[in-house]
């Protein structure tokens, strides 16, 4: 869908075919009659103008995940905008600074609203996109449903919140293209929209490279081996099709099939150019010596021991949003944060309004990300240039963890 003029995203109830064709349907929420919502496509540097109409019968707001956005458009009720009440509407209008794979989702009671289906892909094309035969968005998600397809509506389940989050009973991919030819070059834009599930992914039937993570091009494309996507993380792959493209969730035994893209026919004139790095993002380079070095300790949860917060989870001993920001930075500060996962569960920590480098073992800046996955007991350093003024959330994207303490905010002035 091209996006020159304002478009409407209307949230409301939908009936979705989550289970295979012929099985039961699922009552969910969506945008413009479908979940996932419509894929929004624009060109880097464009303005995105969206009128959000709230037809779900309770308050909501839309967050544009991963966009280095103007603060007032970030879609966080209570921090950057008022709640969009039931039946009300809200206009979003902002420039798109980076080409890449992003997404949008509700940022109010997201542990329920995203789970019910209020999300969609936001694809921002390069000025000169790499040559491929198909540009395919592949959403990966899980749903907690009965065998009949009926949604299990136990969203606020504190037991889930204290553990890994709300895991589905059924998982699959939702690809935008269902058939390709052998020999086609494809770009796969894979987005994990699950509220809690980490997806390890094995993709068969292609040979190629990972070219971007979380919407940010890699300096060097990486080999496509088994990869892992935390909730909210994305991965762009450019690859050549050799066979049916199967998406598998590896388990201890047989892999769980998430779905596939069928092969029909053969491309007589395959693209043979080497798979190259995408145009690099225009983003501030970190200072050689950080202006601040901080530690963020993740604590709480089941089997997590005592901590100083007053909810299930805490960050540096504080649960939920404090009145004053966790930190105030001067615009342009380079900040190194050591994130320590002192809990028994994995967490995908997401920073709004910025991308940061994950630091490699040797301390050099690794890939740019907006969400970093820390397995239980793991620590990681991130390096960020806080060059975007405003009030920004930093939270776990396991949305039940976010709802039960694992969030804070910081201010860039």
Cα 71 from Cα 201, distance rounded (Å):
33
Task: Indicate which of ligand C2O, Cu ion, none lies near residue 401 (CB less than 5 to 8 Å, by partner kind).
Answer: Cu ion
Nearer to ligand C2O, 74 or 236 (CB): 74
The site partner of 398 among Cu ion, ligand C2O, none (C-beta below 5 to 8 Å per kind) is Cu ion
- Pattern of binders to Cu ion over 249-268, x per CB under 5 A? --------------------
Burial class (CB in 10 A: 0-12, 13-18, 19+), 187: buried
365-369 and 356-359 beta bridge pairing: antiparallel
Q: Other C-beta atoms within 10 Å of 237: how many? A: 24
Q: Binding mask 94-113 vs ligand C2O (x if CB under 6 A, - otherwise)?
A: -----------x-x------
Would you count residue 398 as binding Cu ion (CB under 5 A)? yes
How many residues sit in the footprint of Cu ion (CB under 5 A)?
4
CB-closest chain residue to ligand C2O: 65
Output 77 or 366, the one with its CB closest to ligand C2O: 77
Phi-psi region at 265: left, alpha or beta (left = phi > 0; alpha = psi -120 to 50): left
CB of 226 to Cu ion, least distance (A): 23
Query: Which one of residues 232, 237, 248, 403 is an interface residue with ligand C2O (CB under 6 A)?
Result: 232
Q: Are 298 and 211 in contact (CB under 8 A)?
A: no
Q: How far is C-alpha 351 from the geometric centre of its chain's CA atoms?
A: 11
206 makes contact, choosing from ligand C2O, Cu ion, none, with CB < 5 to 8 Å by partner type, with: none
Q: Judged by CB under 5 A, which stretch of 132-140, 199-207, 228-236, 398-406 contacts Cu ion? A: 398-406
Q: Which of 53, 174, 57 is nearest to 112 (CA)?
A: 57
Give the Cα separation of 48 and 41 in Å (integer).
9
Kindly state the smallest distance separating residue 106's Cβ from ligand C2O, in Å: 9
Q: What is the DSSP letter of 253?
A: S
284 membership: H or E segment, kind and range:
none
In which residue are the tokens 């329920």 written? 112
Identified binder of ligand C2O from the candidate list 48, 52, 63, 307, rule CB under 6 A: 63
354 is a contact residue toward ligand C2O (CB under 6 A): no
65 sits near ligand C2O (criterion: CB under 6 A): yes
Site for ligand C2O in 368-407 (CB under 6 A): 393, 395, 397
Write down the number of H helices and E strands in the chain. Answer: 3, 28
Choose among 5, 49, 12: nearest CA to 28: 12
* Interface stretch with Cu ion, choices 35-43, 79-87, 108-116, 400-408 (CB under 5 A): 400-408
Q: For residue 229, what are the contacts with CB-CB under 8 A and spacing of at least 6?
A: 140, 190, 192, 198, 199, 201, 235
Residue 347 interacts, among ligand C2O, Cu ion, none and using kind-specific CB cut-offs from 5 to 8 Å, with: Cu ion
185 binds ligand C2O (CB under 6 A): no
Instruction: Determine the size of the site formed for ligand C2O (CB under 6 A).
Output: 10
Binding stretches for Cu ion (CB under 5 A)? 347, 396, 398, 401
Binding stretches for ligand C2O (CB under 6 A)? 63, 65, 105, 107, 232, 350, 352, 393, 395, 397
């Amino acid at each position: 869908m091209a996006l020159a003029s304002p478009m409407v995203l209307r949230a409301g109830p939908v009936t979705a075919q989550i289970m295979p064709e012929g099985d039961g349907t699922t009552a969910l929420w969506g945008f413009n009659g479908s979940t996932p919502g419509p894929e929004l496509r624009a060109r880097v540097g464009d303005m995105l103008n969206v009128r959000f109409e709230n037809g779900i019968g309770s308050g909501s707001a839309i967050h544009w995940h991963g966009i280095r956005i103007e603060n007032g458009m970030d879609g966080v009720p209570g921090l950057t905008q008022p709640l969009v009440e039931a039946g009300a509407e809200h206009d979003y209008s902002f420039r798109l600074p980076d080409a890449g794979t992003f997404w949008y989702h509700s940022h109010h009671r997201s542990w329920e609203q995203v789970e019910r289906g209020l999300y969609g892909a936001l694809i921002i094309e390069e000025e000169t996109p790499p040559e491929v035969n198909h540009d395919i968005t592949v959403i990966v998600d899980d749903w907690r449903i009965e065998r009949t397809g009926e949604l299990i509506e136990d969203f606020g389940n504190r037991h889930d919140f204290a553990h890994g989050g709300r895991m589905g009973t059924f998982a699959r991919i939702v690809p935008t293209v269902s058939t390709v030819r052998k020999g086609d070059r494809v770009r796969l834009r894979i987005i994990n929209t699950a509220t809690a599930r980490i997806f390890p992914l094995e993709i068969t039937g292609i040979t190629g490279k990972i070219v971007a993570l979380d919407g940010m091009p890699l300096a060097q494309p990486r080999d496509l081996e088994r990869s892992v996507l935390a909730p909210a993380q994305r991965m762009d792959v450019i690859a050549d099709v050799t066979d049916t493209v199967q998406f598998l969730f590896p388990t201890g035994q047989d892999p769980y099939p998430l779905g596939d893209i069928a092969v029909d026919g053969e491309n007589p004139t395959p693209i043979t150019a080497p798979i190259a790095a995408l145009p690099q993002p225009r983003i501030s380079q970190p200072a050689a010596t950080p202006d601040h070095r901080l530690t963020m300790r993740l604590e709480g949860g089941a089997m997590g021991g005592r901590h100083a917060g007053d909810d299930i989870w805490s960050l540096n001993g504080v649960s939920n949003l404090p009145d004053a920001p966790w930190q105030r930075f001067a615009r342009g500060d380079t900040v190194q944060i050591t994130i320590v996962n002192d809990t028994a569960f994995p967490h995908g920590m997401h920073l709004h309004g910025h991308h940061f480098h994950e630091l490699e073992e040797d301390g050099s800046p690794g890939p740019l990300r907006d969400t970093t996955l820390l397995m239980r007991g793991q620590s990681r350093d991130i390096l960020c240039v806080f060059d975007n003024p405003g009030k920004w959330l930093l939270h776990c994207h396991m949305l039940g963890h976010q709802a039960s303490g694992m969030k804070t905010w910081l201010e860039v002035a």
